[in-house]
A and B are shown apart, each in its own frame.
Chain A
Amino acid sequence: MPPRLRNYFAFGVAAALALAAGIGLAMFDRTPADTTSLLALSLPDSAGKLQSMAQWRGKVLVVNFWATWCAPCREEMPDFVRAQQEYGAKGLQIVGIAADNADKVQQFAEEIKLNYPALIGGYGAMDLSKELGNSLVALPFTLVLDRQGKVAYTHLGPVKADKFREVITKLL
């Protein structure tokens, strides 16, 4: 490639990367959501007992919005079960909020031996997740809050196991 052409090529590639990164950041990296209303919330668990989010203050809190009608949500949950088992004693608390009904949630929770609370949010959970940055209102949507209750990580779609471990171990 002649030097001048190579310059153009390099310039083009660099410009494309910079633009993609810039546009990507503008689209996805919004100001971290305010978690005040989330942490003030109380929701019933699958047994019908009201659980307040405030009880987990001070822990590294992972909030996973899911539903039984969402296959990718169900598929990633065994990894959350393993993470809760492994890091629970160190201060990790995973909480699932299901856009679903209690019967289905209970049935699935038993099936995978869920070891963390599964709260029932109904379709209202979808609106709540939207306020927390789930602009597409799709599932699964996962938030990781640090011990101060600030959003450290959000992700739409199944969380990659190694990335998830990297995020939580940094906060624990």
Chain B
Amino acid sequence: MTERLARLLVFAAALTFALAAVGQARPLSPDKAFLFSARAVDAETVEARFTIADGYYLYRDKIHFALDPASGALLTPALPAGKVKQDEFFGRVETYRGSVTVNLAIRNFTPGKPLLIRAESQGCADIGICYPPTTQTATVALPAGSVAPSAPETPKKTWFNLVSER
């Protein structure tokens, strides 16, 4: 009886190990490798974040944010500096690992109304594969606070083309 239990335990451990080994061998899908999230930080700012899995990286110049024009306008500030890499074909490129956070200024919106933020990104995995540009979305509502939405400004980037030319 004890022996049977022990054997079962060994088998369960083996199964866990096997699943872990196989799980590691399979690369992540881009929405898991470059997890996008957004949260309100104040009355008119949304913090957009990519949480990048270990062994994966994003290209700085391939990150774009957009907001449905009907819900408001979005101002993307300069993205933080990434790690500079010399690409044989494209020259100087910057990449992010770990995570990257950007504060998006939102204008001309309705407080309390959910905003659908779209984020486009493109990255690769160290095992030697790259993903095409991927679009992810996150919904966030800015609080109906005391700060009134400011007058409309010209958005830096409008609803972007989903298939960007490179």
Chain A residues with CB under 8 Å of chain B are: 8, 11-13, 15-17, 19-20, 23-24, 27, 67-75, 99-101, 104, 108, 111, 122-123, 126, 136-140, 156-158
Asked whether A74 lies within 8 Å of B89 as measured between CB atoms, the reply is yes
Cβ–Cβ contact B22 & A27, under 8 A: yes
Q: How many A-B residue pairs have CB under 8 A?
A: 96
Bound: A16/B163 CA distance, A: 43
Which of the 9-residue segments B23-31, B72-80, B97-105, B139-147 touches chain A? B23-31
B131 A137 Cβ-Cβ under 8 A: yes
B15 touches A72 (CB 8 A): no
Q: What is the interface of chain B, defined by CB distance below 8 A to chain A?
A: 6-7, 10-11, 13-15, 17-19, 21-22, 25-27, 29-30, 87-90, 122, 124-125, 127-132, 163, 165-166
**Interface SS of chain B: helix, strand, loop or mixed?**
mixed
The answer to whether A139 touches B89, judged by C-beta atoms less than 8 angstroms apart, is no
A70–B21 alpha-carbon span in the complex (Å): 27
- CA of A137 to CA of B125 in the docked complex: distance in angstroms? 13
Contact (Cβ within 8 A) B18 A72: no
Task: Kindly list chain A residues whose C-beta atoms are within 8 Å of the C-beta of B7.
Answer: 8, 11
Task: Tell me, in angstroms, the Cα distance from A109 to B6 when the chains sit together.
Answer: 61
* Assembled-state Cα–Cα distance A71/B129 (Å): 8
Known A-B contacts A70-B124, A123-B132, A156-B129; A12 and B10 likewise in contact (beta carbons under 8 Å): yes
CA distance A72 to B89 in the complex (A): 12
Q: Please measure, in the bound complex, the distance between the C-alpha atom of A11 and the C-alpha atom of B10, giving whole angstroms.
A: 8
Please tell me if the beta carbons of B6 and A8 are within 8 angstroms of each other in the complex. Answer: yes
- Given contacts A69-B130, A74-B88, A140-B129, whether A23 and B122 have CB atoms under 8 Å apart is no
Write the chain B residue with the least CB distance to A70: B130
- Minimum CB–CB distance for A73 against chain B, Å: 7
A15: chain B residues at CB < 8 Å are 10-11, 14-15, 18
Instruction: Using A11-B10, A69-B122, A74-B89 as known contacts, say yes or no to A20 and B131 having CB atoms under 8 A apart.
Output: no
A16–B11 Cα gap in the complex (Å)?
A: 8
* Contact, CB under 8 Å: B14 / A72: no
Given the interface pairs A12-B14, A15-B14, the reply to whether A136 lies near B130 with Cβ below 8 Å is no
